[in-house]
Amino acid sequence: MPTLLYAFGIRFFFYMDEHEPIHVHVSYGGKKAKIELLPTVRVVYNHGLKEQILKKAVATCENYSEEFIAEWHKRFDD
């Protein structure tokens, strides 16, 4: 599972067999969420992250969306 970034104790990562739409997974303290990056940043699911942590994760995805999308294309485009 390639890690893209650690910020605020939150891990942003891809699984090895990802599928579109472009998204990242986040984990913090054993809790997880999935955040879609395109067409806009939005939470797909949240499995236990507190609202404050989820807001930080979404803001980080907004700030790093270009980098995360570029990394997605490097890893998953044929």
Task: Give the pLDDT band of residue 77 (cuts 50, 70, 90).
Answer: confident
Structural domain tally of the chain?
Answer: 1
Mean pLDDT of 15-42: 96
Give the integer Cα–Cα distance in Å for 78 and 28.
Answer: 31
The domain of 9 spans 3-76
Rounded distance, CA 3 to CA 25, Å? 10
Rounded mean pLDDT of 42-58?
98
Which of 6-10, 35-39, 46-50, 73-77 comes out lowest in average pLDDT?
73-77
pLDDT at 1 over 90: no
More confident residue, 78 or 5: 5
